[in-house]
Amino acid sequence: MTRSLPDQSLGPEWTILELLARGIIDDSEVQMVRDLLTTDTLKWGELLEQALRHKMFPMLAHQIMSASLRFDVPTNIYMHLESALEWNRWQIEVFRRETVRVAQALADRGIPFVVTKGMAFESTLYDSLGTRYMNDIDFMITPRDRDKVMTVMQELGFRPFFDWAKDARREEISSRLNPDHLPKLAREIDQPGIRLIDIDIANSLTWTKSPFDVPVEEALENPVEQPIPGMSGVSIPCFRPIYQFLFTVLHLFREAWLQKFVESGTDVGLMKFGDVIRLIDRNQNKLTDSELLRIMQTHGVTDAVAWVLRHMDETFHTHAVELLALEKHGNEKLLRSQMRSPGYVNAWSESMRGRLQSKSRGSVQPVAPAHRGS
Amino acid sequence: MDDITTQFEECLRRHLRSAKPNPINYDVELVQLGLDSMTAVAVLMDMEKTFGIRFPDDMLVEGTFRTAGRLKEAVQLLRERQAS
């Protein structure tokens, strides 16, 4: 997708991260990032903090290393970035091996599944550079296989794990009452620098009782086999591009539209949009086909997809709505809304750009009382 | 076993806006009193804290709190189990 250069009204630090998130595609962007990284007014503290908040630390490190900016960056910061990138590459390698181990066990039992998100994108959208940060490994299964998969995972040494949450009991109850995911699973490992491997297994493209959903059984049909870098002859099943796109967009919608993710500080970040931009860039022919629109209309998710793409276009100067012919879809009321809890929708007037940059999103208040809606 | 009605109803009223001004009808679905997936979590946690109980996994299902009557039965059962 062509896009104009971002405006710099939010400062050079934010502009650098926006450019990296959407992907550097031409010389003018390469030069802009280089100029911004070497500007005298750059606040390194702000840049590093925002890179961490948006899971972009390895990507920022890679950009600086590959642009040969060794002597333009404060030495201690450069060294830290370098080791962070190396550590991320090591973690990805460990995650790859674990992904294959779990995938093999599920396949041996004939359970349909795909690998999603970071592990699926790392090689296809991020060229196996070790720049895509991931804190867990994600799988998608059907709801009917929940018990079978739980048994397999326990045989592999995984246990339900809630300690990651601020309130572990709340998270435990919530995961039992909202069975769109298995409880988060973890296994202790004995690898340098990595103590636990977390696995997140979803059985819905969105959330329990969501008004916007695509049947997971349909999405899992005809997966594509994706080679694992560095492991000759080994591959993992992933969604085919149309469903990969739908899942990624609807997952972003879930984290951005449901207020509970804002309150817990785990809502949408720059890289979630970065994934969507790259998916469109690399699968344009398949996504502009009429099949995508037909599937979206069949399942009533067009407005949710348009919500994401319109916010994305406004924020990153992309043209996804036009490219996917969704100009007539999505409505203003939905676009400026956020779901407080099932059935109750708040008006929301903030821009996505401002929200992404904000460090206190939990304090953002709705602009109007909640109303009953879908 | 003590009558838990007062504490039980106070607990519900803390979370369910529609239950506040009126006597609680134990047969009406809690959804009609404003229960949703988020308040359900809050109600169950408050019940655990108030009565010193812990809902086992097999009770963390919608049926347990479909009505105030069902939820009160569950709380009483867990209190009895704990006492014995």
Q: Which value does ipTM take for this structure?
A: 0.90
Chain A hits for B45, Cβ within 8 Å: 169-170, 173
Q: What is the mean pLDDT of chain B?
A: 88
CATH number at residue B75: 1.10.1200.10
The residue from A224, A239, A254 where one domain ends is: A239
E strands, chain A, in order: 114-116, 137-140, 159-160, 185-191, 194-202, 224-227, 235-238, 337-341, 344-347, 371-372
Chain A hits for B39, Cβ within 8 Å: 341
Mark whether A192 and A158 lie in a shared domain.
Answer: yes
CATH number at residue A167: 3.30.460
Work out the percent of chain A whose per-residue pLDDT is above 90. 69
Chain B (42-61) residues lying within 8 Å, Cβ to Cβ, of chain A = 44-45, 48, 55, 57, 60-61
pLDDT-derived band at B62 (thresholds 50, 70, 90) equals: confident
Q: Which of A53, A62, A124 is nearest to A87 (CA)?
A: A62
Pairing of strands A185-191, A159-160: antiparallel
Mark whether A356 and A374 lie in a shared domain.
Answer: yes
Instruction: Provide the residue range defining the domain that includes B58.
Output: 5-83
The residue from A216, A239, A262 where one domain ends is: A239
At A243-265, the pLDDT tens digits run 999 999 999 998 888 877 776 66
The nearest CA of chain B is from the CA of A325 a distance in Å of 35
What pLDDT, on the 0 to 100 scale, is given for residue A130? 96
SS3 A185: strand
What pLDDT, on the 0 to 100 scale, is given for residue A367? 45
Mark whether A230 and A253 lie in a shared domain.
Answer: no
At A80-138, the pLDDT tens digits run 999 999 999 999 999 999 999 999 999 999 999 999 999 999 999 999 999 999 999 99
What pLDDT, on the 0 to 100 scale, is given for residue B20? 67
Burial degree of A252 (CB within 10 A; 0-12, 13-18, 19+): buried
Structure-token pair, residue B68: 């105030």
Query: What is the signed CA dihedral for A205, A211, A212, A218, rounded to 10 degrees?
Result: 60
Report how many domains make up chain B.
Answer: 1
Residue A17 lies in a domain: no
Residue A202 lies in a domain: yes
Mark whether A296 and A313 lie in a shared domain.
Answer: yes
Task: Say whether B38 and A341 touch across the interface (CB within 8 A).
Answer: yes
Task: Say whether B41 and A174 touch across the interface (CB within 8 A).
Answer: yes
Chain A hits for B48, Cβ within 8 Å: 169
Task: Say whether A341 and B40 touch across the interface (CB within 8 A).
Answer: no
Other Cβ atoms closer than 10 A to A281: 17
Q: What whole-number distance in Å separates Cα of residue A267 and Cα of residue B11?
A: 30
Mark whether A245 and A374 lie in a shared domain.
Answer: yes
pLDDT at A365 over 70: no
The residue from A206, A239, A272 where one domain ends is: A239
Residue A323 lies in a domain: yes
Mark whether A314 and A211 lie in a shared domain.
Answer: no
